[in-house]
Amino acid sequence: MLYLSVKLIHIFSVFIYGGFLFTDNLFLAKMKNDLGTSEHDKVREYFMQYVRKVVPKALVVAVISGIYLLHENFGVIGEDGLTSFQIMLGLKAFFGLWLGARGILQVFFGIQPFVFKSHLVPFILVILIIFLSQTMHYGSF
């Protein structure tokens, strides 16, 4: 029951974080073409006022719950080395931890990223994580 609860919490928190990235990259970025720079900046700042209250907390929950799920699912490394499942799960965990570290340092400690300042790279990593999540159970690449 604990595993299922943590998994549901993880999915919900990832949905919040990923939803923000989807909205920012697919909608807010495109609104600049229609609104102009000053109006776009106002709309984006208004949107970000609400985002800052929820998304960072969801990201922390996603990272903590993800670490627990990684611990529960990784399994034992066999004599033949890592399985394709373990490789994809490890890659997924690396991307998730990178996103978490980047977000936590930026939001809670005010450390701005030196590279990849836009939300495009996190957005692409979320897409890759979703892809890995859907393919890692099928045995091989």
Per-residue pLDDT reduced to its tens digit, 45-73: 998 899 988 998 999 999 999 999 999 99
- Euclidean distance between CA atoms 59 and 26, whole angstroms: 20
Radius of gyration of the chain (CA): 17
3-state DSSP percent of the chain in helix, strand and coil, to 5: 80, 0, 15
pTM listed for this prediction: 0.84
Question: What is the C-alpha separation between 23 and 111, in angstroms, rounded?
Answer: 23
Give the C-alpha separation, 110 to 13, whole Å: 22
